[in-house]
Amino acid sequence: MRAMITLYTAATPNGHKVSIALEELALPYELRVLDLAAGEQQRPGFLAINPNGRIPAIVDHAAGDFAVFESGAILVYLAEKTGRLMPQDAKGRSRVLQWLMFQMGGVGPMMGQANVFYRYLPEKLQPAIDRFQAEGRRLFEVLDGHLAQHEWLAGDYSIADIANWAWVRTHRWSGISIDGLPHLRRWRDAIRERPAVQRGLERPPAPLRLAQGGSDDAQAQAFAERARTMVVTGRPQPPQET
């Protein structure tokens, strides 16, 4: 039987946000894992689902094959579809959206650029590395300050926690320390314990070293090499549609 939802994804923080949410919501879904270094995200078939040529994206077969792209928009769609992981009153919903936007406009882009300049580009542009790592650290301090007073980012555990957590867990890969941020660490550890989160990180499996930040083992080097190919070529040639 066909799953309710198809998730187009890869083993990245933005992809894992959605697989974790789907696991938390216990929605039946199937994975289509795209090879980003090979440019599968630029195939016409996928561009019809996400014209931006990026993962993640979903197609909801239970809603007339409705396609959604942008990880934040997907999380909101899933929360609204199920009435879970986000309150329905205006203020509660707004609190969740504030911390979701904080991740989408801040944590994700800053850590993403830190990864590009710190890990992937062959040239080491130190001012760029410093800028993105410092801004990432500043955002972590904002999270830590808020979590000093609150168990979760916005009321109960929500899509805002999932979105931020999927990036924060990879802080070592971006070269950004969480030393001296005990509340962020407490929250990071608590979310990591959730069975649905652990299942979501397996779909597809997170590269071990992405979270641990080591660069000296073969797995980390292979991951960085593939990401470098994608960043340097900018727009990989799409393989033949199959």
Ligand X SMILES: N[C@@H](CCC(=O)N[C@@H](CS)C(=O)NCC(=O)O)C(=O)O
Question: Shortest Cβ distance from residue 227 to ligand X (Å)?
Answer: 9
Choice from 12, 113, 158, 174 touching ligand X (CB under 6 A): 12
Q: With binding defined as CB under 6 A, does residue 141 bind ligand X?
A: no
User: Any contact of residue 164 with ligand X (CB under 6 A)?
Assistant: no
- Among residues 70 and 141, whose Cβ is nearest to ligand X? 70
**19 touching ligand X, by CB under 6 A:** no
Phi, psi of 34 (to 5 degrees): -95, 140
Instruction: Report the residue from 4, 38, 67, 70 that binds ligand X according to the rule CB under 6 A.
Output: 70
Residue 71 within binding range of ligand X, rule CB under 6 A:
yes
* Residue 114 CA neighbour count, 13 Å, CB half: 25
* 93 is an interface residue for ligand X by CB under 6 A: no
Contact 188, 169 (CB under 8 A): yes
Alpha-carbon distance 61 to 19, whole Å? 17
Tokens in use for 185? 């660490």
What's the number of CA atoms in the CB half-sphere (13 Å) around residue 112?
13
Q: How far is the CB of 142 from ligand X (least distance, A)?
A: 19
Listing DSSP states for 70-134 in one string gives SHHHHHHHHHHHHT-SS-SSHHHHHHHHHHHHHIIIIIHHHHHHHHIIIII-SS--HHHHHHHHH
Parallel, antiparallel, or unpaired: how do β-strands 66-69 and 57-60 relate?
A: antiparallel
Least Cβ distance, residue 97 to ligand X (angstroms): 15
Q: Does 14 bind ligand X (CB under 6 A)?
A: yes
Contact by Cβ (8 Å): 147, 132: no
Q: Binding of ligand X at residue 33 (CB under 6 A)?
A: no
Residue 199 buriedness (CB in 10 A; 0-12 / 13-18 / 19+): middle
Q: Which of 185, 211, 230, 238 binds ligand X (CB under 6 A)?
A: 230
Q: Min. distance of Cβ 201 from ligand X in angstroms?
A: 14
Taking residues 44 to 63 in sequence order and writing x for each that binds ligand X by CB under 6 A, - otherwise, the string is ----------xxx-------
**Rounded least distance, CB 35 to ligand X, Å:** 10
Chain positions contacting ligand X, by CB under 6 A: 12, 14, 36, 41, 54-56, 70-71, 230
